[in-house]
């Protein structure tokens, strides 16, 4: 297949995004999910007019002309507590003790804070009254019935869950999370905790991609490690049932690279193989029905960069988000030159100045086999062949931050 550009690869991926699936779930299971509908308020907030302070509920007409020399003395006729409202009507010359959040009784329109009063038997003496309606939360002042609370695509975090619960919404329609299967290929790979021989490599790709997948909110439905055997690769791909299958290694041109052929034996149609970029040139994509299979390079940095630039936004799109990346603009603090013949996804470190702006510098290590080049960087810039960026220039940085 012909090598393609980064933009061509993105266009092919976008053209093959499966339609998002909507499902309904209980609110307490919706944390981290994305709404598949707009949410309108089924009731106002507050639902009833209530007190913003502990104090006394009074009629403004009884306190508007008071002063330190001429305080108002009102008869205390009852109490309104949160959950236990005062049931009567408050007449002229009377007051009701009231707690924060308690329903305002009929007949009153103002709350005087307890700090501005003193009791004398069954009366309250008030020296300070600032304005009509002070310390009163009016019914519907936050939002009214039918107001838009949350838009389609909003992520349900703790504040959103609290808002939905507050208006009585116990179930929500959300986009189904993307299901992902991981396959790590390589006869040299062993698990991190195993005894290692000189010819073996600990499988960091599986650990890295598992974490990266889970950070997106996708569901990891299976993972397997297989040797560089054609039939084993065919069988593993055939058993992987997911929206996205991620294979690492086995996509180059070596005698023991079997992922492409194994995918096609399982009925997958290749969409592209090889992208003009560094790192991550041998990226492979195939499709079978609604399932997309990515063949990621075996080098850890290459695998992560391909996941970040192509798979991560795809996972977001499957769950109802727009296809895109977390980006910031930063000022380059040094000359950076791409001397290679392919676009370079150059890892950078970022710092924030006192004014809130970002500065970017090239990470010290850039090798596709060096995990420290990821650990020591915050994101990456894409540089065209021969491009030179001068100190002080502003560049677009793709952030590694999944949050």
Name the 3-class secondary structure at 317: helix
d(CA 358, CA 401): 14
pLDDT at 391: 95
Q: Quick one: fold of 327-399?
A: Beta-clip (2.40.340)
Q: Quick one: fold of 22-45+141-175?
A: Molybdopterin biosynthesis moea protein, domain 2 (3.90.105)
d(CA 363, CA 110): 62
pLDDT at 377: 94
Q: Which helix (H) or strand (E) holds 207?
A: helix 204-215
Q: pLDDT, tens digit, for every residue of 270-318? A: 999 999 999 999 999 999 999 999 999 999 999 999 999 999 999 999 9
Token pair for 401: 């931050």
Is residue 315 within 8 Å of residue 382, measured between CB atoms?
Answer: no
Determine the average pLDDT of the residues in 118-140: 96
Is residue 86 within 8 Å of residue 94, measured between CB atoms?
Answer: no
When pLDDT is cut at 50, 70 and 90, the band that residue 165 belongs to is very high
pLDDT at 10: 98
Residues 6+ apart with CB under 8 A from 306: 280, 283, 294, 296, 297
Q: Tokens 């009074």 belong to which residue? A: 58
Is residue 78 within 8 Å of residue 106, measured between CB atoms?
Answer: no
pLDDT at 311: 98
Determine the average pLDDT of the residues in 253-258: 84
Nearest Cα to Cα of residue 218 among 182, 185, 173: 182
Burial of 167 (0-12, 13-18, 19+ CB in 10 A): middle
Tell me how many degrees the CA angle 118-124-126 measures, rounded to the nearest 5. 70
Least confident of 72-76, 161-165, 193-197, 342-346: 193-197
Does residue 380 register a pLDDT over 50? Answer: yes
pLDDT at 194: 84
pLDDT at 176: 95
Percent with pLDDT over 70 in the chain: 100
Give the predicted TM-score (pTM) of the model. Answer: 0.84
d(CA 176, CA 110): 48
Mean pLDDT rounded to a whole number for the chain: 94
HSE-CB at 25 with a 13 A cutoff on CA atoms is: 19
Determine the average pLDDT of the residues in 191-214: 88
Tell me how many degrees the CA angle 76-81-82 measures, rounded to the nearest 5. 160
- Find the largest Cα–Cα distance for the chain: 99
Residues 6+ apart with CB under 8 A from 51: 57, 80, 98, 99, 100, 101, 102, 104, 111, 135, 136, 137
pLDDT at 403: 41
Considering the domain 50-137, what is its CATH architecture?
Beta Complex (2.170)
pLDDT at 254: 77
CATH of 6-21+177-318, picked from 1.10.260.40, 3.40.1400.10, 1.10.510.10, 3.40.980.10, is: 3.40.980.10
d(CA 234, CA 391): 50
Per DSSP (E only), the strands in 214-268 are 219-226, 244-248
User: What is the domain partition of the chain in residue ranges?
Assistant: 6-21+177-318, 22-45+141-175, 50-137, 327-399
When pLDDT is cut at 50, 70 and 90, the band that residue 188 belongs to is confident
| Residue count (the chain) | 403
């Amino acid at each position: 297949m012909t090598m393609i550009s980064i933009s061509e690869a993105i266009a092919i991926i976008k053209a093959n995004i499966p339609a998002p699936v909507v499902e309904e779930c209980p609110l307490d299971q919706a944390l981290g999910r994305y709404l598949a509908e707009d949410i309108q308020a089924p009731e106002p907030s507050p639902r009833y007019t209530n007190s913003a302070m502990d104090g006394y509920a009074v009629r403004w007409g009884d306190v508007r002309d008071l002063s330190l020399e001429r305080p108002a003395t009102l008869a205390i006729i009852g109490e309104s507590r949160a959950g236990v409202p005062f049931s009567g009507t408050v007449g002229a010359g009377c007051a009701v003790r009231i707690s924060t959040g308690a329903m305002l009784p009929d007949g009153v329109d103002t709350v005087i804070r307890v700090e501005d009063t003193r009791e004398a038997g069954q009366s309250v003496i008030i020296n300070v009254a600032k304005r009509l309606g002070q310390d009163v939360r009016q019914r519907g002042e936050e939002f009214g019935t039918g107001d838009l609370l949350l838009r389609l695509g909003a992520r349900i975090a703790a504040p959103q869950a609290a808002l939905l619960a507050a208006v009585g919404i116990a179930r929500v329609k959300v986009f189904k999370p993307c299901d992902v299967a991981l396959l790590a290929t390589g006869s040299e790979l062993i698990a991190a905790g195993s005894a290692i021989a000189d010819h073996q490599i600990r499988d960091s790709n599986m650990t890295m991609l598992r974490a990266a997948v889970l950070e997106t909110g996708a569901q990891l439905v299976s993972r397997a490690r297989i040797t560089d055997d054609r039939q084993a690769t065919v069988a593993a791909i055939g058993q992987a049932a997911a929206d996205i299958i991620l294979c690492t290694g086995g996509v180059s041109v070596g005698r023991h690279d079997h992922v492409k052929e194994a995918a096609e034996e399982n009925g997958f149609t290749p969409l592209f193989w090889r992208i003009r970029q560094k790192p991550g040139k041998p990226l492979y994509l195939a499709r079978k029905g609604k399932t997309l299979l990515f063949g990621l390079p075996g080098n850890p940095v290459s695998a992560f960069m391909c996941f970040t630039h192509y798979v991560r936004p795809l996972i977001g799109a499957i769950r109802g988000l727009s296809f895109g990346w977390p980006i910031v603009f930063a000022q380059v603090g040094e000359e950076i030159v791409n001397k290679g013949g392919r676009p370079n996804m150059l890892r950078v470190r970022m710092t924030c100045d006192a004014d809130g702006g970002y500065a970017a510098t090239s990470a010290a290590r850039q090798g596709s086999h060096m995990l420290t080049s990821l650990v020591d960087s915050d994101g990456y810039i894409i540089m065209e062949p021969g491009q030179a960026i001068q100190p002080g220039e502003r560049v677009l940085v793709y952030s590694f931050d999944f949050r």
